[in-house]
Structure 1
């Protein structure tokens, strides 16, 4: 029996949560605690909300929502529950546990930032839900990039005891200052950004190691990765590619076999560097939004030296066109890098490049070898291109025109998940072929550098006969995280 993984308590302060921390935490049950200073901010914002509704109209507290913003509401206890019930409408497949855990984690951290006006009791109930791993049933179609209303309404109904949860929780009452503030967030979208973006970064670094094995197999001209090239690249990504390939290939052959290689290798720093830079920009933007109070309205407790005790700001901070654009850019960057991968597969299949049999076949004339890996990788490229169609170009006008634009950041983030799976398959195809080619050439394997990468791949079968390579590709996919570690210079046990 597998022992349960130890769960460290993650302290949320509304200030320092990162996409990386979210991705690393949600593979299983999560233990959380809200920082004491954050609890003070939450209480102050709630007190300010209570005072504000006595002084002025406040959207979603003394009024309806959407096009009903001008409608005064008096029966708030009943209206608040009705708001949650109506906004829980959704459709599609259920989201996976890691995505739901990530959403809950992000939402709790946003509330810890202070500014929602929500009650401390509602915050405590959400923390209890996370600690109990009582995950709500969140469906795929639930937002258009202006707030993940359905996903969060479903979560709130679970806390109220009205929606099914895998384990029972003490029900909490949502008051006038809890219903809309709980919903007013893009937590599900940002959770997807954190998870998909983190996985793509891992795959993108694994791609450096995989491409290096191809470079070794075809005796690549390493001048394309020299310091002279690295110094003339615009971002950190290309510099990282050059440094990693150079380190993994040390010592470089004294004389290059070819004066220069095809773009698939020669332009790897430029193309793949752009992938790394774009993914880094997405991560930075995600880290920013994870720690923002973006609920509408924003309710802030002012200091004692200011004229009023609270400030109410109605706004559009929940609108995330920048996140949508960053997700689209990441999907496009990954998609436009895979034609180079196909070019490297073509090199590995070419006897003029490797000195080996066509398609790395062995045992008989006309052997197909790894021929079909190009087909599988090409199929994955089609999926990547579909996932790279910019979601940010779409918009809708809803709620009788009161909400007349949509960023579709939610859809852009989901497309990153589609890109992850397809990219992983393409990389696995190149890896299977590159490892076979290196082995067939009988090269002297160094103890470190690309030898470390080959050691990670020791479990890949060395049967060269014509056979079904489906399981080889599946196994290669599982090796990619370790190869990402090799790319950044970490020692990995085979």
Structure 2
């Protein structure tokens, strides 16, 4: 991954030649008429002529650089630079070649700008990208690394910030985490199934062929393989937490695939306004990220039930009538609380997620003297998805810790194959002492294991 320094960047000379050619077209258009942002103001000032002011570009960047809020982490900042570079190389911005080359150098050398996210509503990350532009111009220091500096002209400023690169980067990183967490959740669910002596009929391929929603049969087949060899079922029908894992997980996997497609399009798109083509300059509304906002809302809406179902399985693992073990999987003297507090942790996190579950695409606004009266709020959707992925590991970890403890207490319920591998991996990482004690270390270790479980 480029953002983490695990992959390197090379720039296609053909793409740079296209950047050069489109910049010349933008310059020519600016000389012969009004071009938004190049020789005019922006927003409600679009009819104001900027004339021949030599500092027009820098003034535009300075005015759009709010510079407030939390600082984006280095990986997200580098991801945003990478997205912006790839979009610029698509050739629609009209930015000068030296901007593309400076940005490529920064990405290649590991330089990191200081980016504050506040000031974006899904119609370009104006404030954060203005910070990036001013950093490239040498007016703001690089946060880390030997970053380059270059000249910013009047035709460079708006093309530099006319993108939702930070939003796309945030969403892409969150999506990678979602995909990992979804794969891990299936493995964790299988361990809970074994600990609870579930009925494997619910995962029978014949059942899922009867209603072939996208991904459902595949999830069921994975679960069926994981629990093959389990002992005889103790219930004719299990609680929903075990029975409906394929039905609940499949929509999230489908939503992740859809979001991946949308992000791929955004990463490779020329979305700048105005758009510079071989035939001239076109003013448009491509900056509006409604498709991305909708895909993010769908992803969040589909991921939440996966997490709430995990919390339901955790509750099942606490019940002696279902496990045949002590309440809360307690060990030690009578009255021991076992894993009781883990349910409180999970419900706290789940509620934090639910609080932010309003569809962001439903928002409305009116800004810039009322001339910009709609936005997608994809930015807020990306941030919300990132928050979900930051909280989700501890929720899945709580279920994992409980499933492993139950299987330690009843090892005869284990099967062979990947389920056994998953159990052994988790078992080795957790403290063997199951008497009442703080659970934080076990939960943190279990959360750290999720990527390995996802790769089994």
Same fold (TM over 0.5): yes
- For the residues of structure 1 that align with 2:169 and 2:100, how far apart are their CA atoms? 18
- For the residues of structure 2 that align with 1:445 and 1:252, how far apart are their CA atoms? 7
Secondary structure of 2:235's aligned partner: coil
Contact conserved, 2:181 with 2:450, CA < 8 A, in 1? Answer: yes
Q: Which moved more, 1:352-361 or 1:445-454?
A: 445-454
- For the residues of structure 2 that align with 1:282 and 1:450, how far apart are their CA atoms? 30
Q: 1:306 is matched with which residue? A: none
Instruction: Quote the offset at 1:185 in angstroms.
Output: 0.2
1:473 corresponds to 2:450 = no
Cα deviation code 1:457-482 (max 9, x no counterpart) = 12111211111111111111100001
Equivalent residues in 2 for 1:72-221, closer than 5 Å = 72-165=49-142, 166-221=144-199
Contact conserved, 1:236 with 1:273, CA < 8 A, in 2? Answer: yes
- For the residues of structure 1 that align with 2:307 and 2:416, how far apart are their CA atoms? 30
Q: 1:438 is matched with which residue? A: 407
Q: Which moved more, 1:73-82 or 1:405-414?
A: 73-82
1:369 corresponds to 2:346 = no
Instruction: Quote the offset at 1:168 in angstroms.
Output: 4.4
Instruction: Quote the offset at 1:186 in angstroms.
Output: 0.2
Cα deviation code 1:140-169 (max 9, x no counterpart) = 313111100111110111111100113444
Give 5+ residue unaligned stretches, structure 2: none
Cα deviation code 1:433-463 (max 9, x no counterpart) = 0010011102265552201111221211121
Contact conserved, 1:233 with 1:270, CA < 8 A, in 2? Answer: no
Contact conserved, 1:361 with 1:367, CA < 8 A, in 2? Answer: yes
Q: Which moved more, 1:104-113 or 1:327-336?
A: 327-336
Q: Which has the higher helix share?
A: 2
1:226 corresponds to 2:204 = yes
Contact conserved, 2:125 with 2:161, CA < 8 A, in 1? Answer: yes
Secondary structure of 2:31's aligned partner: helix
- For the residues of structure 1 that align with 2:136 and 2:211, how far apart are their CA atoms? 51
Runs of 4+ in 1 over 6 A off after TM superposition: none
- For the residues of structure 2 that align with 1:225 and 1:136, how far apart are their CA atoms? 49
The correspondence for 1:282, drawn from 259, 265, 268, is 259
Change (3 A) 1:161 1:111: same
Equivalent residues in 2 for 1:181-330, closer than 5 Å = 181-253=159-231, 255-301=232-278, 310-330=279-299
- For the residues of structure 2 that align with 1:335 and 1:121, how far apart are their CA atoms? 44
Instruction: State the TM-score, normalizing by the size of structure 1.
Output: 0.89
Give 5+ residue unaligned stretches, structure 1: 1-23, 302-309, 487-494
Instruction: Quote the offset at 1:382 in angstroms.
Output: 0.4
Instruction: Quote the offset at 1:297 in angstroms.
Output: 0.5
Instruction: Quote the offset at 1:90 in angstroms.
Output: 3.0
Aligned length: 454
Query: Root-mean-square deviation (CA), in Å?
Result: 1.6
- For the residues of structure 1 that align with 2:288 and 2:350, how far apart are their CA atoms? 31
